[in-house]
Amino acid sequence: MISSSLILFYIAGSITLGGALGVVMTRNIVYAAFSLLACMLGVAGVFLLLYAEFLALVQILIYGGAVVIVILFALMLTRIEDFATLTDHRQWPVAAVVAVAVFGVLAAAITTTAVSVGQRESVSFDALGETLFTRWAIPFEVASLVLLVALIGAVVLVRTQGGRD
């Protein structure tokens, strides 16, 4: 019998795969960014099925929101003339063969590995919050500074030389 969690997993998985295919196959980079958002929302759905509410929330807020917004801002700051000379790469058949080979290896590893299934339970937000703000506070601050420096670097690179733009 098919359970409701399995049906929800198939829905979340199909959203994730559809979004990932949209990212890879579309030619419009704005559509690729929105497909990335759909993929991230599908992954958040899988996290919810695993009782990882915090990871689902982070997936939506940080990856689904902030990363897609940064990608769209980077597109707005990029000069469109830089994309006029881009063409398709001639290495796409090699990339397709490598992708199929990697898929085969992953599928073989997934089908031959035994999975131990235990009782699912969620972590309390009190314990999670205490761990995040005591043990992982400095790495989060360093990551935010790296993202800030990257955004400032993108703005500096896009600016043209000379007067005010």
Maximum CA extent, the chain: 69
| Digit-coded pLDDT (tens) for 87-106 | 667 787 898 899 999 999 99
Confidence of residue 122 (pLDDT cuts 50, 70, 90): confident
Quick check: 17 pLDDT over 70? Answer: yes
- For the ranges 66-70, 88-92, 157-161, the lowest mean pLDDT is seen at 157-161
Q: Once rounded to an integer, what is the mean pLDDT over residues 42-51?
A: 92
Instruction: Report which of 6, 32, 7, 10 is spatially closest to residue 19, judged by C-alpha positions.
Output: 32
Q: How long is the chain?
A: 165
Which CATH number is 1-79 given?
1.20.120.1200
Q: What contacts 72, CB < 8 A, 6 or more positions away? A: 30, 33
The residues spanned by each domain of the chain are 1-79, 123-165
Q: Which residues contact 79 (CB under 8 A, 6 or more apart)?
A: 158
Question: What's phi and psi for 21, nearest 5 deg?
Answer: -65, -35
Token pair of 44 as six digits? 């958040």
- pTM attached to this predicted model: 0.65
DSSP string, 105-119: HHHHHHHHS------
